[in-house]
Amino acid sequence: MMEFEQQFNTEQACIEYLFKLRWPQGFQCIKCGHNKAWTTKENLYRCVKCEFKNSVTAGTIFQDSKKPLKVWFRAIWHLTSQKYGANALGLQRVLGFGSYRTAWTWLHKLRCAMVRPGRNRLSGMVDIDEAYIGGKRPGKRGRGAEGKTLIFVAVESKDNRIGRIRLKKIPDASAESLEPSIKEAVEPKTIINTDDWRGYGRVSQIGYTHKIVRKNPEIGVNLLPRVNRVVSLLKRWLLGTYQGRVQPPFLDYYLDEFTFRFNRRTSGSRGKLFYRLVQQAVAIEPLFVKCIHSQIVDS
C-alpha cells in the first residue's frame, strides 16, 4: 500500500504510467500517426506535425471523469489488492465518495476492463457443463427454474489440474445456446468432456473431439468434478463479496470479474493484477466501449 501511494502520489505520475501502457512503442498521434509531441499544461500531448492534442485517457474508462486519475488508481488498487475483490459499498467507503451510485458506476466500468479484448480461447482438454446460480432448489434441465440463472462453465485441464476458465450466462441448455458458447470459449480441435446431455449432441460436428465422460445428465447436481470445484468457488465468492445480492441482469459482469481473478490466481503478485487491469482499462476495443455504455439502472 505504501509503495503504491509513493508511486502514484501525483496526477502526473498516473498519466505517465498510462502513457507507457497506451503507447508502449512510444507516442503515436491518434490523428496523423506522427511520433513526436509536446506536453501541454493540461497534461495533453500536442502532436508536433498536425498539432492535434492527444489525451492519454481518450476512449478509455477514465475519459470524461471529473475525478483525478489518482482516485481511479486507488480504486483499481482497492479492487485488485484484495483477494476477493470489492463491492460498491466498500469502494464508496475507501474513496470517501458521497454517492453509492458513483462507486457502483466505477465498479461497473472496471469490470468491463476485466474482459480481455481478443482473449485467447481455452485449448488442450476442456470440461464443459452448465450450472444454476441463485435460487434454492435444483431445477429441471433445459427449462427455466424459478429464481435461478443458468451459466455455461468451461474449465481447462492442465496435467489433471484446473487451468483457465470461461463463464457465461445462457438462456437455456439447448444446443442453440451451448454451441455458440463453446465456439466462443474453446479453440477448435480441442478435446471436450461433457455429460450425455442432448444439448452437446453435435459437439463433434462443430469441430471438436467430443468425449462423454458421464452418462447421467442432470442439472445443478452431478457436475463434472472440475466444473463443480469452480462453481463452488464462484458461489462462495458471490456470497462473500456481494452477499449473494447479484441480480441476474448483472451476473455477466460478476462472472467476468471472477474469471479475471481466477485465471490470474497463480500470478502471485497483486501488483501484476493491478498492472493488467490498468492496461486493459486503456485498451480501446469496441466490445469494451459497448460494455461501458450499457449503463443499466441498478435496482
Give the residues lining the site for Zn ion (CB under 5 A).
29, 31-32, 34, 47, 49-50, 52
Q: Which of 65, 100, 1 is nearest to 91 (CA)?
A: 100
In angstroms, give the least distance from the CB of 52 to Zn ion: 5
Task: Compare residues 35 and 105 and give the one whose CB is closer to Zn ion.
Answer: 35
Nine cell digits for residue 264: 490470474
Angle between helices 69-81 and 11-22 (to 10 degrees): 70
Task: Compare residues 32 and 287 and give the one whose CB is closer to Zn ion.
Answer: 32
In angstroms, give the least distance from the CB of 12 to Zn ion: 22
In angstroms, give the least distance from the CB of 246 to Zn ion: 45
Task: Compare residues 56 and 185 and give the one whose CB is closer to Zn ion.
Answer: 56
CA–centroid distance for 34 within its chain: 33
111 Cβ partners below 8 Å, 6+ apart? Answer: 253, 254, 256, 257
C-alpha separations of 189 from 14, 119, 129, 207, 211 in Å: 43, 18, 18, 6, 12
Measured between alpha carbons, how far apart are the two ends of the chain, in Å?
33
Task: Compare residues 34 and 202 and give the one whose CB is closer to Zn ion.
Answer: 34
In angstroms, give the least distance from the CB of 15 to Zn ion: 19
Task: Compare residues 29 and 133 and give the one whose CB is closer to Zn ion.
Answer: 29
Interatomic CA distance for residues 110 and 75, integer angstroms: 9
In angstroms, give the least distance from the CB of 34 to Zn ion: 4
Q: Per residue in 221-249, is it b (16+ CB within 10 Å) or e — as a string?
A: eebbebbbebbeebeebbeebbeeebeee
Q: Which of 137, 131, 135 is nearest to 168 (CA)?
A: 131
Task: Compare residues 38 and 84 and give the one whose CB is closer to Zn ion.
Answer: 38
Q: Which of 72, 162, 159, 156 is nearest to 113 (CA)?
A: 72
**Three-state SS sequence of 108-169:** HHHHHCCCCCCCCCECCEEEEEEEEECCCCCCCCCCCCCCCEEEEEEEEEECCEEEEEEEEE
**Quick check: helix, strand or coil at residue 212?**
strand
* Residues paired with residue 133 on neighbouring β-strands, in sequence order: 149
Task: Compare residues 46 and 67 and give the one whose CB is closer to Zn ion.
Answer: 46
In angstroms, give the least distance from the CB of 285 to Zn ion: 22
Task: Compare residues 29 and 178 and give the one whose CB is closer to Zn ion.
Answer: 29
